């Protein structure tokens, strides 16, 4: 047994007090006034298995639970010292709350609806899985625009490229007439996929709604794998059905959000485009070498940044139960990929707006009081409180890393102050149900 394993076993034996009780099966441990939940464990353990060389084992499961409990201990200590979160921590907790609300809304709207997949549907998707299609599309947020264009395209197919060049802002799509190239199964938005793979060749179809707007599709060609046996189908059927269920639930979720988007929403297009231009300029330049910025460019960036801060509460869009501000947009973008924003700023705006709509809908349904939502918010807060606690112990306030020996000493002192109860049966049930199901 190596030194690390020995240390973990000592920690486990000295401060884990197991107890079997009829507690909520989602709770794996209680540390003082905080809980380690199944969601905490699944997120942490999944990330470990995906991002490290660790293999699933009883030892790794125990170590992950130890780490989660230790974080709770540090957070409890932070609360006892009345430590508070910095602006970064507060923003992360806010984002975590919004995400938890949207996830719970999804469970309420979609989770209760069973989706039965017939064999004929599974076989159709199996064919698509072994097919590639050459696809073109025209995209617009306004369905009425595409309703007007479709008859003209059907009458004169050459107009497809003409309208694509007029509507697309992306240079590649503009130059290619909306050409997406060869598309394989599991690449498109589910609603587009089921239309694109089943539609005839060389006949425009639409408008079809995706997560981001409306499309006219044109399938130019397709190529199928010809040798597909019944045995191949039977071997992949179970996994394929699970994939189809996910696609169908995503379509239902998208339809729900799209209905919210249609519900008395007003967008200040001019202000949105002006704001996106400023953000795009800032993000684009920040991704370059800042030391190479010319004085005029640097001055312009400073002007844009100050303007966005001063106008953070300016409304970009209004809807039935609320509004969407520049600050809402910025907060959402901070949690997304800069490249995704640079590739398609308008799409990034609509994603952020949809998130605000869903968060507001969840709040209106009272889901902030849901126990799973509360647990997720608490977990994120505990992560940042634990960090604040460690920083409070450091002579150098910038120190973020402690030695293994230091952590053991701190943990040893705290375990005498806070009661720790571990529910081993709940962890066992977790691996028999959720993790295996995934």
For the chain, which domains are there?
3-88+377-437 (no CATH), 131-224 (3.10.50.40)
Model pLDDT for residues 59-72, shown as the tens digit of each residue = 999 999 999 999 99
Q: Which residues, 6+ apart, have CB-to-CB distance to 369 below 8 Å?
A: none
Distances in Å between the alpha carbon of 222 and those of 137, 179, 204, 218? 15, 14, 15, 12
Mean pLDDT of 246-272: 82
Question: Which tokens in the block code for residue 284?
Answer: 């684009």
What is the chain's length?
438
Question: Which tokens in the block code for residue 140?
Answer: 């617009």
Model pLDDT for residues 187-218, shown as the tens digit of each residue = 888 989 999 999 999 999 989 998 778 999 99
17-18 and 420-422 beta bridge pairing = parallel
pLDDT given for residue 292 in this prediction = 56
Burial 194-217 (b: 16+ CB within 10 A, else e): bbbbebeeeebbbbbbbbbbbbbb
Mean pLDDT of 130-151: 92
Rounded to whole angstroms, how far apart are CA atoms 148 and 380?
48
Mean pLDDT of 29-57: 90
374 pLDDT above the threshold of 60: yes
Mean pLDDT of 284-296: 64
Question: Which tokens in the block code for residue 230?
Answer: 């019944």
Verdict on whether the full-model pTM lies above 0.75 = no
338-346 long-range Cβ contacts below 8 angstroms, 24+ apart: 338/283, 338/286, 338/287, 341/279, 341/280, 341/283, 342/280, 342/283, 342/284, 342/287, 344/170, 345/276, 345/279, 345/280, 346/169, 346/276
Per-residue confidence band for 112, with pLDDT thresholds at 50, 70 and 90: low
pLDDT given for residue 15 in this prediction = 47
More confident residue, 343 or 56: 56
Report yes or no: 113 and 251 within 8 Å, Cβ to Cβ: no
DSSP codes of every residue in 169-227: -SHHHHHHTSEEEEEETTSS-HHHHHHHTTSPBT--EEEEE-SSSEEEEEEEEEEE-S-
298 pLDDT above the threshold of 80: no
Question: Which tokens in the block code for residue 367?
Answer: 């889901």
């Amino acid at each position: 047994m190596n030194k690390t394993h020995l240390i973990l076993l000592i920690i486990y034996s000295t401060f884990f007090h197991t107890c079997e009780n009829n507690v909520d099966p989602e709770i794996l441990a209680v540390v003082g006034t905080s809980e380690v939940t199944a969601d905490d464990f699944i997120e942490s353990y999944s990330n470990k298995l995906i991002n490290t060389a660790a293999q699933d084992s009883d030892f790794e499961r125990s170590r992950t639970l130890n780490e989660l409990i230790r974080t709770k201990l540090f957070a409890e200590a932070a609360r006892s010292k009345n430590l508070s979160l910095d602006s970064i921590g507060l923003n992360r907790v806010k984002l975590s709350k919004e995400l938890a609300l949207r996830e719970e809304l999804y469970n309420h709207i979609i989770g209760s609806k069973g989706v039965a997949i017939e064999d004929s549907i599974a076989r159709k998707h199996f064919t698509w899985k072994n097919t590639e299609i050459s696809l073109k599309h025209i995209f617009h947020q306004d369905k009425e625009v595409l309703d007007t264009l479709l008859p003209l395209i059907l009458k004169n197919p050459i107009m497809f490229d003409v309208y694509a060049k007029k509507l697309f802002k992306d240079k590649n799509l503009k130059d290619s007439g909306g050409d997406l190239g060869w598309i394989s199964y599991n690449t498109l938005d589910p609603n587009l996929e089921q239309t694109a793979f089943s539609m005839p060749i060389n006949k425009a179809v639409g408008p079809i709604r995706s997560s981001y707007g409306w499309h006219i599709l044109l399938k130019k060609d397709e190529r199928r794998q010809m040798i597909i046996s019944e045995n191949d189908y039977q071997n992949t059927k179970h996994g394929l059905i699970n994939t189809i269920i996910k696609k169908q639930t995503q379509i239902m979720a998208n339809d729900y959000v799209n209905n919210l988007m249609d519900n008395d929403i007003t967008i200040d297009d001019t202000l949105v485009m002006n704001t996106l231009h400023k953000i795009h300029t800032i993000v684009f330049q920040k991704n370059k070498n800042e030391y190479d910025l010319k004085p005029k460019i640097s001055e312009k960036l400073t002007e844009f940044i100050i303007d966005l801060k001063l106008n953070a509460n300016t409304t970009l869009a209004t809807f039935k139960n609320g509004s969407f501000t520049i600050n809402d947009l910025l907060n959402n973008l901070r949690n997304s990929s800069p490249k995704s924003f640079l590739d398609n700023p308008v799409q990034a705006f609509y994603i952020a707006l949809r998130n605000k709509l869903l968060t507001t809908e969840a709040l209106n349904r009272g889901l902030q009081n849901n126990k799973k939502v509360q647990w997720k918010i608490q977990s994120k807060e505990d992560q940042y409180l634990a960090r604040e606690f460690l920083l409070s112990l450091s002579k150098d306030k910038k120190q973020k890393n402690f030695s293994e020996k230091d952590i053991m000493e701190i943990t040893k002192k705290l375990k005498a102050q806070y009661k720790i109860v571990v529910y081993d049966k709940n962890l066992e049930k977790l691996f028999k149900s959720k993790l295996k199901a995934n």
